[in-house]
Amino acid sequence: MSAPGDDEVTVTRVQPYQARKAYRCPGCQQEIPAGTGHVVAVPVAAADADLRRHWHHGCWEHRARRRPGRR
Ligand SMILES: [Zn+2]
């Protein structure tokens, strides 16, 4: 059995005024400039908030569409 919730993430939208740093989007490997609204995904199973990932809105939605149902 694999760990439950291994692929689950908590998704938070970051508003432009909240984005005070630049981040690298794992979807397209491009930088998200500071001051740009984006999406933060944190694995539910992760105890460490450092595992959060910052995505462009478009990249995140594209990822979700491609996501397999269950594994
Ligand atoms: Zn991106």
59 CA from centroid of ligand 1 (Å): 5
Domain assignment present for residue 16? The answer is: yes
State the distance from the centre of ligand 1 to the C-alpha of 15, rounded, in angstroms: 16
pLDDT value for 50 = 75
Q: What is the mean pLDDT of each run of 10 residues along the chain (71 residues)?
A: 64 96 96 97 78 93 69 50
Measure the CA angle with vertex 63, ends 14 and 40; round to 5°: 20
Judge whether 41 lies within some domain.
Answer: yes
Q: Considering the domain boundaries, does residue 3 fall inside one?
A: no
Contact (Cβ atoms closer than 8 angstroms) between residue 53 and residue 14: no
71 assigned to some structural domain = no
Does residue 32 belong to any structural domain of this protein? yes
Domain range for residue 27?
Answer: 9-66
> Looking at the domain assignment, is residue 1 inside a domain?
no
Domain count, the chain: 1
